[in-house]
Structure 1
Amino acid sequence: MDRSGELADFLRSRRARITPDRVGLTGDGRVRRVPALRRGEVARLAGVSTEYYTRLEQGRVGSPSLEVIESLARALQLDLAEREHFADLLARPTPSRRSSAAP
């Protein structure tokens, strides 16, 4: 599985274990198909847009800022090991730079 697939699975699994009641969200009158948090609810708790969170969960975001990573970790109630794994999943290998100067 590629890194974006691992990230998507990780975020979905962490979102699935949290209920709205657990984080103090009240019902909005819509019927819930699943008891877990919706993407929009995670985004609201983290202070990011639903579109941004959706792209992140789908692996379509480059490198989120440390502030966004921390906000999402708090919203998803990640423990220390989960926070480290989350950061690892978001890490991007740095491309090696080649010197253009001839030896």
Structure 2
Amino acid sequence: MTGPSNLLGAFLRARRDLVTPEQAGVPVLGVRRVPGLRREEVAMLAGISADYYLRLERGRDRSPSVQVLESLARVLHLDDTTRDHLLGLAGGVPAGKRCRRAPRSS
């Protein structure tokens, strides 16, 4: 399911295809059928299970934590703008846009 109803999954897949194993520090062993990182490699590097990453990419889990999204952004080499887009797709609030309390005046 990678249609318009699964924008997060489509984004993750597209970005995963752009990161080479060499860029991620993953040893290349044998023939690879995918141009970028495998799902299992992204999951391992992000510190999440391969099953959970698969659920995210397929749209079966649409509420990942900000910590998971930040880890994925790091693994996928996202810049600040693209990271904010990822957070927005998942319904998270980009770090720079979080509400901050105004300083108290004494």
* Separation of aligned partners in 2, 1:23 and 1:55: 22
Equivalent pair of 2:66/2:87 in contact (CA under 8 Å): no
CA RMSD of aligned residues (A): 1.4
Normalised to the residue count of structure 2, the TM-score between the two structures is 0.77
* Separation of aligned partners in 2, 1:61 and 1:34: 23
Between the two structures, name the one with larger relative contact order (CA 8 Å, sep ≥ 6): 1
Unaligned runs of 5+ residues in structure 2 are 93-106
User: What percent of counterpart residues are identical?
Assistant: 53
List, as ranges, runs of 4+ consecutive aligned residues in structure 1 with deviation greater than 6 Å: none
Normalised to the residue count of structure 1, the TM-score between the two structures is 0.79
- Secondary structure of residue in 1 paired with 2:35: coil
Report the equivalent of 1:48: 48
1:27 deviates by: 2.3
1:90 deviates by: 0.5
* Separation of aligned partners in 2, 1:39 and 1:17: 13
- In the alignment, does 2:99 pair up with 1:75? no
Q: Which has the larger radius of gyration?
A: 1
Unaligned runs of 5+ residues in structure 1 are 93-103
Moved more, 48-57 or 58-67: 58-67
1:62 deviates by: 3.4
Moved more, 39-48 or 64-73: 64-73
Report the equivalent of 1:17: 18
Report the equivalent of 1:27: 28
* Separation of aligned partners in 2, 1:7 and 1:71: 15
Alignment coverage as a number of residue pairs:
89
- Secondary structure of residue in 1 paired with 2:72: helix
